[in-house]
Structure 1
Amino acid sequence: MGAGTEPDGSSRSDEEWERFLRESVAGAADAPKEPSARARAVTERLRAEPGHGMEGWRSYTPARPRRRTGWYVVGLLASLVLLVVALVPGRVVDLFAGDDSPSSAAPGPGTPAEAAQRPTVDEPFRGSPAASWAGGAAGITMPKAGAVGWMSAAEVERALASSRDFLVASGLDRGVLQGERPEKAIALINPHQKDVQDLLKTAFLTPSEKNDPLLLFSRFQPSRTHLVGDVVKTRGQLTYREGERGALQVTADVTFVYPVTRADAGGDEIVRTIVRRELVLSWDNPDKVITEPGTFSIVSYKYDMTNGGCGAPTGYFTPPFGTDRRADKAGTKIDPYDRSAPVGRGESSGDACARATRS
């Protein structure tokens, strides 16, 4: 079959080809893919007509469809956001709630999440970072001993062990925590250090801001507060260097977490009192400083405490319970588990009690 002919062999007229080409340019669906020589000739003639503006069969460029991918993506994302808001609205609120992140802020009161994290007599550290900490002296890291100043490596090792013994006797001994006088801890302090001995003479009888046993020892009043369980969680370490006159200077930085309850409440409400202590101890050369064998001098002592009570010193930690706990809104908020910041409370700081962002 020849080009430009009908299936029955008849030829198309020039007028029919002109009409066919105009319909093809306008978008006719059955335009031929490859026009015949006659069709091309008609096209050239039409193009030559003034004012016609017809494009050639090879020069025609169809308009590109408008891309709407961006709007589809925006719509999809908006749908996902609405779905998340509907399913977990609490999480979405947390994202815009301010500085307190879900990791550090306690669950809302009365929520199932709060109930699941609430401490119990069997699990007094549940919901606390201290749940994964070691208990007692095991949470206090000891450095490898080496010779320092007037001490050999073996003597440094013994001094480090005695320094840890002081931390155990002052902050972990069960009797001391229940209000007993810390005799074992006191026996490790240089009896010739006058300022500390003056503190010890008055602190237990007439505690004051300056002479408070809590500056060195952890104590709870047994008629008011009971310890929960047999474990106190700890985290911290001892470090050492050479001090004045060749002394061995040991620094202890340890956080203690005490779960307690009211003595008359049957263990229903559990509060965790958190105390971070920094002690600097000097094991002095007896040839240069008046001291006794096996004792150290206290260079400095300071601590941070939360959930331990406010007000005039009583010689005991007084954890807030019930309405006292809810009404205690004073003080600066701190994270008692953040050990990156320096210990801020000293013997004469006079700072108000801090409030724990988590316990």
Structure 2
Amino acid sequence: MGDPREPPEGGPEGGSGNEDEYRSVVFDESFVRAARIQELSARERLGSGYGRATRPRLGLGGLGSVPRQAIALLLLIVVAFAAAVYFGISSPTRGGSRPAGSQLTVSLMALSPTSPVLPAADPANPFAGLPAGYGDGRAGLAVPAGAATAHYTKIEVARALDTVQSYLVVSALAPSTLIKGDTGAVRDFVTAGQLAQFDQSVAAPRDDRHHAATGWMVRFDPAHTVLATDTVKVAGSMRVDEADDGALQVTTDHTFVYALQAEGAAASAPVTVLSVRRELRFEFDRAELAASQLRLVDAAVQTGPAACDTPQTTYLQPLLATVGGTKPPAPPAVDPGSHSVPAWQLCGVLAGG
């Protein structure tokens, strides 16, 4: 009986009938990877539609055995990562995005006179005693010419200044805001991230440094105060720079002077001249610039003549003059050892008062 390892017809002529003659050829892994063609699997041949048995191998060296889908995915990840790094480093607005928790911080200071509050000498010209440099309303805002900053163009800076100017007009010059209780025109300028804070400040003002309505706007209680004239005198300045986080920043410092009378008084009643200094800091990202909206970050407000112990959070409440002069109440004593009163509740002495 023949060797079961041999074919029934016997070994081929001239051959050894075994694999000894092929043992010198070694098909190791490196040889297979170096092949320029690759045999398709049975499933791939059936699905190819034209019976092709092989495909060319990609000339990627050590990656030649990696499926093309995996290589495409790898390249996609590399490109996405490179784009993220590039835009994260080079984008000029990387710090200018609106902070989710950005809040307005308000500092209010009443300025108490040391002598009785006297009415304007000439009710028809209540601002006669002001020093030079005050303009009428918008003209006194002294808006500078816009100049480009490191990351914002001249056009973007000019848009920011125009938005701030318009905000100052509606928040400190418009009679509808000053004495008629309108808040909608001011609200229209507030960026979306601060709307909730603004609405809370109007609906429930409180002296917690974040929710004083008078931090957002100048307003007087219409039940007690009216404007003797719609003219408001203004002096001050604006400054443009960039915040540490890359946002465009506009800082304003203006003194607004109002002529006021008691509500219901005759036209010849005493006129009180009230000064309100507002130092405000605004920030913008490009979305806010495009929408003509702003972030009011800080507001420092000084108002006088006013009584130290009169709340100023809902309305600014001046000491109104009478014919013989209104004597101011004595400022309350401050005990630095007592923590019952917040440390930020400040009062100053009105110069020349």
TM-score, length-scaled by structure 1:
0.56
**Corresponding position of 1:128:** 130
Which deviations, in whole Å up to 9, do the C-alpha atoms of 1:328-349 show, x marking residues without a partner?
Answer: 33279xxxxxxxxxxxxxx972
Q: Output the CA distance in 2 between the equivalents of 1:166 and 1:263.
A: 27
Aligned-pair CA distance for 1:308: 4.0
> Are the counterparts in 2 of residues 176 and 218 from structure 1 also a CA contact under 8 Å?
yes
**Corresponding position of 2:219:** 219
> Are the counterparts in 2 of residues 149 and 246 from structure 1 also a CA contact under 8 Å?
no
Q: Output the CA distance in 2 between the equivalents of 1:163 and 1:282.
A: 10
Secondary structure, in 3 states, of the residue corresponding to 1:302?
strand
**AA aligned opposite 1:121:** P
Question: In structure 2, do the counterparts of structure 1 residues 156 and 280 end up closer, same or farther at CA, with 3 Å as the change threshold?
Answer: same
Secondary structure, in 3 states, of the residue corresponding to 2:223?
coil
Aligned-pair CA distance for 1:160: 0.5
Secondary structure, in 3 states, of the residue corresponding to 1:137?
helix
**Corresponding position of 2:344:** 349
**Corresponding position of 1:300:** 298
**Corresponding position of 1:80:** none
- The percentage of counterpart residues that share the same residue type is 24
Unaligned segments of structure 1, at least 5 residues: 1-105, 333-346
Secondary structure, in 3 states, of the residue corresponding to 1:167?
helix
Q: Output the CA distance in 1 between the equivalents of 2:258 and 2:199.
A: 26
Secondary structure, in 3 states, of the residue corresponding to 1:126?
coil
**Corresponding position of 2:281:** 280
Secondary structure, in 3 states, of the residue corresponding to 2:352?
coil
> Are the counterparts in 2 of residues 233 and 256 from structure 1 also a CA contact under 8 Å?
yes
Q: Output the CA distance in 1 between the equivalents of 2:285 and 2:289.
A: 7
> Are the counterparts in 1 of residues 303 and 316 from structure 2 also a CA contact under 8 Å?
no
Question: In structure 2, do the counterparts of structure 1 residues 124 and 192 end up closer, same or farther at CA, with 3 Å as the change threshold?
Answer: same
**Count of residue pairs the alignment pairs up:** 226
Question: In structure 2, do the counterparts of structure 1 residues 328 and 156 end up closer, same or farther at CA, with 3 Å as the change threshold?
Answer: same
Aligned-pair CA distance for 1:302: 1.1
Q: Output the CA distance in 2 between the equivalents of 1:144 and 1:256.
A: 22
Q: Output the CA distance in 2 between the equivalents of 1:209 and 1:176.
A: 21
Q: Output the CA distance in 2 between the equivalents of 1:160 and 1:296.
A: 11
Question: In structure 2, do the counterparts of structure 1 residues 324 and 316 end up closer, same or farther at CA, with 3 Å as the change threshold?
Answer: farther
> Are the counterparts in 1 of residues 310 and 317 from structure 2 also a CA contact under 8 Å?
no
> Are the counterparts in 2 of residues 121 and 229 from structure 1 also a CA contact under 8 Å?
no
**AA aligned opposite 2:164:** S
Which deviations, in whole Å up to 9, do the C-alpha atoms of 1:138-186 show, x marking residues without a partner?
Answer: 1111222112244210121121011111111100011000142322222
**Corresponding position of 1:268:** 269
**Corresponding position of 2:230:** 230
> Are the counterparts in 2 of residues 273 and 306 from structure 1 also a CA contact under 8 Å?
yes
**Corresponding position of 1:167:** 168
Aligned-pair CA distance for 1:314: 5.7
| Worse-superposed segment, 224-233 or 178-187 | 178-187
Unaligned segments of structure 2, at least 5 residues: 1-112, 334-341
**Corresponding position of 2:314:** 315
Q: How does 1:185-224 map to 2 (within 5 A)?
A: 185-193=186-194, 197-210=195-208, 211-224=211-224
* 2:179 is the counterpart of 1:178: yes
Which deviations, in whole Å up to 9, do the C-alpha atoms of 1:68-120 show, x marking residues without a partner?
Answer: xxxxxxxxxxxxxxxxxxxxxxxxxxxxxxxxxxxxxx9x98xxxx9xx9433
Which deviations, in whole Å up to 9, do the C-alpha atoms of 1:262-295 show, x marking residues without a partner?
Answer: 1133242111121101111111144xxx997221
**Corresponding position of 2:49:** none
**Corresponding position of 1:77:** none
Aligned-pair CA distance for 1:257: 0.5
> Are the counterparts in 1 of residues 159 and 292 from structure 2 also a CA contact under 8 Å?
no
**AA aligned opposite 2:346:** D
> Are the counterparts in 1 of residues 181 and 222 from structure 2 also a CA contact under 8 Å?
no
Q: Output the CA distance in 2 between the equivalents of 1:260 and 1:251.
A: 28
Secondary structure, in 3 states, of the residue corresponding to 2:204?
coil
Q: Output the CA distance in 1 between the equivalents of 2:203 and 2:158.
A: 36
> Are the counterparts in 2 of residues 149 and 247 from structure 1 also a CA contact under 8 Å?
no
Secondary structure, in 3 states, of the residue corresponding to 2:156?
helix
Q: Rg: which structure is higher? A: 1
Which deviations, in whole Å up to 9, do the C-alpha atoms of 1:286-332 show, x marking residues without a partner?
Answer: 4xxx9972212222111111124442346112222348931333279
**AA aligned opposite 1:124:** P
Question: In structure 2, do the counterparts of structure 1 residues 202 and 119 end up closer, same or farther at CA, with 3 Å as the change threshold?
Answer: farther
Which deviations, in whole Å up to 9, do the C-alpha atoms of 1:9-45 show, x marking residues without a partner?
Answer: xxxxxxxxxxxxxxxxxxxxxxxxxxxxxxxxxxxxx
**AA aligned opposite 2:143:** M
**AA aligned opposite 2:350:** A
CA RMSD of aligned residues (A): 3.1
> Are the counterparts in 1 of residues 276 and 304 from structure 2 also a CA contact under 8 Å?
yes
Q: Relative contact order (C-alpha < 8 Å, sep 6+): which is higher?
A: 2
Q: Output the CA distance in 2 between the equivalents of 1:201 and 1:254.
A: 25
**Corresponding position of 1:73:** none
Q: Output the CA distance in 2 between the equivalents of 1:125 and 1:207.
A: 31
> Are the counterparts in 2 of residues 170 and 185 from structure 1 also a CA contact under 8 Å?
yes
Question: In structure 2, do the counterparts of structure 1 residues 308 and 135 end up closer, same or farther at CA, with 3 Å as the change threshold?
Answer: farther
Secondary structure, in 3 states, of the residue corresponding to 2:158?
helix
Q: Output the CA distance in 1 between the equivalents of 2:129 and 2:292.
A: 41
* 2:140 is the counterpart of 1:143: no
